[in-house]
Structure formats: structure tokens, C-alpha cells
Amino acid sequence: MCIRLAPESRFRCAPYPSYEGETMAKKKSQFVCRSCGYETSGWMGKCPSCQEYNTFDEVVEVKSAPSDAKPALRAGWIAERGVSKLSEVSKENEPRFSSGIAELDRILGGGFVEGSMTLVGGDPGIGKSTLLMQVSGTVRTDGEILYVSGEESKSQIKMRADRLGVKRSSIVLCSQTSFEHISELISERHPGLCIIDSIQTLYSEEISSAPGSVSQTREVTAGLLRIAKSLNVPIVLVGHVTKDGAIAGPRIIEHMVDTVLYFEGDGSSSLRMLRATKNRFGSTGELAFFEMTQKGLAGVENASALLLSGRPHMAPGSVITSVVEGSRAVLLEIQALMSPSSYANPQRMTQGLDKGRVSMLLAVLESKCKVGISNMDAYINVVGGMRIDETACDLAVLCAVFSSISSKALRENTMVIGEVGLTGELRPVSDLEKRLADASRLGFTSCVLPGASKSAASRLPVKMDFIYVDKLSEAIDVLFS
């Protein structure tokens, strides 16, 4: 662990003539990548792990750290010695309290847990501060809400609160970046919820490096974690993201906190998604939907309608599919644009989809349907800024690609669901009922499905025509001939 020597170590007496390495802890220099946390013993210009340039910070480590530098031991919450039988360990009730925002509670697993630490990440301007100010107004706690901002002045925060209609008298504001001051404040006031905007702006006076550097961020997070656990104060941190969308600073921050929430969404639409990528007190599959309005973020019950609003009518390159996120399914549009390439290596640009998976799907389309793609640039986008990891949208991606190449729009009011295998076969998908629940209400009259989903689909009480296909080439024939 990082870093300093305990002040009293200067006065420790050596029992026999000493040399530095014996009485004082051994110092060791390490260089840590600010972007991904990669560690090395020498400075490097380019990180071999994340390929970023000029991201290495020096971190001085002490080999035999003094006891006060070992947060876990000091806090005592995981430092019990001895063992217990699993069956005899009493299940402590995690006392939860609602954030007052239903969509947020859903991804938190029912609300904030006492003494937990939550990290909220996302692009600049996506709505992190807005959401947390709204939470300050609605959270169901009797205690004070301590809102610490290292980025904005009190009057700026007040202006936002006024705009959002937050008037709660138990909110106390603090514009502060010193970790020592903030930790004193938390110990004195013992708030019901503490919000810190943002972790990268805080600095500890005991560490010489700049705010936002690896050692500062790491130590300040560890210090706050100590406070959260020992005083049982729930803390919410805002984290900046790098240009790849990861939380800036070493990955270790994500390991330390209990819950990590990421905002998704693109600047052009008002839809915002909040995803729990880590949750020690709940599931991680869930996605919360919000709309950015004049009065802040409003929870969205029916995200499909919002995701499909404004979609082009009968436009080549646009296909509607359905993806399942946690306990809900949403309909969304996949768009593809294929254009002749002027590069030796044609471009494969994707937004919201895995580039490797899309390249593989393009290869399947090329080889199984005899479509020339190798000299074309491919731009594929999930409209609304959502990230999809599901394979059930494979067929929709390839239909959008084919539609763009052939300049033919898909049949009207038709949606497409199915996973594509390497031999061009279509594989069944799960949760059909959920996927199709919204479809007929939003005007869809037919759906192309893998043949293997026939028995599941035929039992559904949905008023739609199902077109079953077993192969990618059959699907292309049915939809575009």
C-alpha cells in the first residue's frame, strides 16, 4: 500500500546501530497507469495494457507499512480473527433505505445500504450531479444529507437545487476538496447520506501528488471507505470517466466500493440509462431508464416508446429488435451504414455493440449469403446510446447491414430477433414473452424468429404474425425479396 511513514516512526529508537533500511520502512517506487491501473517498476510513455500515452504516475510504496496505513485492520470490520461456521453466522440485516427514486432503487436492489459506498460514473454532462441532487431531496433518511462538491461552488449547487425544486432543509452543502476536512466533517456531523462530487477532485494533504492522480484517488477512496464502514455512513461518490468510458483512476477503486453505477446514453437524445456493473447488495443485470427533462431526471417506465420515437419510416439500414436487460425487455433500433471503402483495411465502427462480434457477424453474412463486404466500411449504431451485450440482436444487425447494402427497407412494421451462429444457423432466444410484450402496442404486426423458438412463440398471447426461419439466408430472402 501507499505511502507515508507514521509520524512517530521518526522517534522510534533503534536497538543497535542502524542503517536506514532497518529502522525505517523500505521505500519502493512504482509507476501506475492512471487509466487502467497497470503497474510497472519503471516509467513508460505508453501503457502496454490500455495503450494510452503519458498516463503513468509514480507511487512510492512502503514495504512494511505502519499499522495506520492498513485500512482493513484499523477499521476492524473485516479484521476479526477466528473462524465461524457458515450455518452459525447470523445474517445481519442490511438496513436499507429508499433513495426515493423508484428506478434507482431497482438497480440498487431496494435502496442504499447503511455504511455502503456507491460509485456513480458517466460522461461529462450526462446527469451525475443532477441525479445526486435529486437523491438528496428524495432520499428516505432522517439524518442530514451532506453534499460535498469539489467542482462547483455552493451557489452553483443551490442554483441546480432550485431548478430541480429541491428544498429539503436537512441538506448541508460543502464546497471542499481536502480529504482531511471532509473526513472530519463526516465524523462530526454523522450524516444520513454523504454525497461526494467528485472523487478525482479530492486530495489528501499527506500525499504529495496532484488531485486525480492514482495515489491520491486510491488513498482518498480507501480513507472514505474506512469512514463509511466504521461510522456506518452511506457514501455516494461521483467518478469521472476516461475517453473509453471506464472510471478514471486505478481499477482498484471499483474493487473497493460496494456498488458501481454507470450512466449510458448519447448527448443527442434525452434518454439516460443507469447500469449497475457491480453490486454487493443486489443483482447487476438491471438497467434504469431516465429522461432528462427541464426539471431533472424523470424515471421512464416504458423505455421502448422513447427509444423508438423519431425513428425513420421505411429507411434502408434501420431494423428494430428487442433486448432483455435484467427483468425488462426494450425494443430498440439498430442502424447500419455500408459504404465503399477508400482504406486498405476497411473500417468497422460500432457504437453500443462489441466490435469483435460485429466483425464475426459480417464474416458470416459474407460467406453464407455471398454478399461482398470486404471492401466496404461498416458503421453500426444502437440508437439511443445503449450498450448491448446480448446475442439476440445478431440477426437484426445483419439485416440492417444487408438493408443498407441493397438499399431496400425492411418489410413494414416488422421486427427481427435471433442469434446467428458461425454456420449461418439461427439459434433460439430466451424470454420471448417479455421481448414481444410491447411490440404490438407500438404497432408491430410481424416478427422474424428462429425456427427453434416456434413452440415457445406459438403459446404466446400476442397478436402478431411470426415468420420462422432456420438460416440467415432464409431470413434475408423473406425480408428483402
Asked if 204 interacts with Mg ion (CB under 5 A), we say: no
Give 85's contacts (C-beta < 8 A, 6+ positions apart): none
d(CA 109, CA 276): 10
CB of 46 or CB of 295, closer to ligand TYD: 295
- What DSSP element (H or E) covers 61? strand 56-62
Asked if 129 interacts with ligand TYD (CB under 6 A), we say: yes
Which residue of the chain is nearest Mg ion when measured via CB? 129
The piece of 55-63, 122-130, 182-190, 375-383 that touches ligand TYD (CB under 6 A) is 122-130
Name the β-bridge partners of 426.
420
The piece of 129-137, 302-310, 339-347, 378-386 that touches Mg ion (CB under 5 A) is 129-137
Q: Which three cell numbers stand for residue 133?
A: 441532487
Q: Of 24, 100, 110, 160, which lies in the binding site for ligand TYD, with binding defined by CB under 6 A?
A: 160
Contact 427, 318 (CB under 8 A): no
Asked if 122 interacts with ligand TYD (CB under 6 A), we say: yes
CB of 101 or CB of 196, closer to Mg ion: 196
Strands 193-197 and 145-149: parallel
Question: What is the closest distance, in whole angstroms, from the C-beta atom of residue 129 to ligand TYD in the complex?
Answer: 3
CB of 292 or CB of 365, closer to ligand TYD: 292
CB of 296 or CB of 385, closer to ligand TYD: 296
Asked if 141 interacts with Mg ion (CB under 5 A), we say: no
* 28, HSE (Cβ side, Cα atoms, 13 Å): 14
Asked if 292 interacts with ligand TYD (CB under 6 A), we say: yes
Strands 271-279 and 287-293: antiparallel
The piece of 124-132, 157-165, 347-355, 454-462 that touches Mg ion (CB under 5 A) is 124-132
CA distances from 263 to 55, 104, 126, 249, 425 (A): 24, 12, 7, 17, 35
Could you tell which of Mg ion, ligand TYD, none binds residue 361, using a CB distance below 5 to 8 A set by kind? none
Say whether the peptide bond before residue 204 is cis (omega within 30 degrees of 0): no
Question: What is the closest distance, in whole angstroms, from the C-beta atom of residue 307 to ligand TYD in the complex?
Answer: 19
Crossing angle (nearest 10°) for helices 394-406 and 355-369: 60
CB of 7 or CB of 125, closer to ligand TYD: 125
Q: Of 106, 128, 229, 368, which lies in the binding site for ligand TYD, with binding defined by CB under 6 A?
A: 128
Asked if 26 interacts with ligand TYD (CB under 6 A), we say: no
Asked if 28 interacts with ligand TYD (CB under 6 A), we say: no
Secondary structure of residue 416 in the 3-state scheme = strand
Secondary structure of residue 411 in the 3-state scheme = coil
CB of 158 or CB of 160, closer to ligand TYD: 160
Q: Of 116, 129, 149, 209, which lies in the binding site for Mg ion, with binding defined by CB under 5 A?
A: 129
State phi, psi for 324 to the nearest 5 degrees. Answer: -100, 130
Adjacency order of strands within the sheet including 348-351: 348-351, 376-382, 328-340, 318-325, 414-416, 446-450, 465-469
Query: Which residues contact ligand TYD by CB under 6 A?
Result: 122, 124-130, 160, 163-164, 292, 294-296
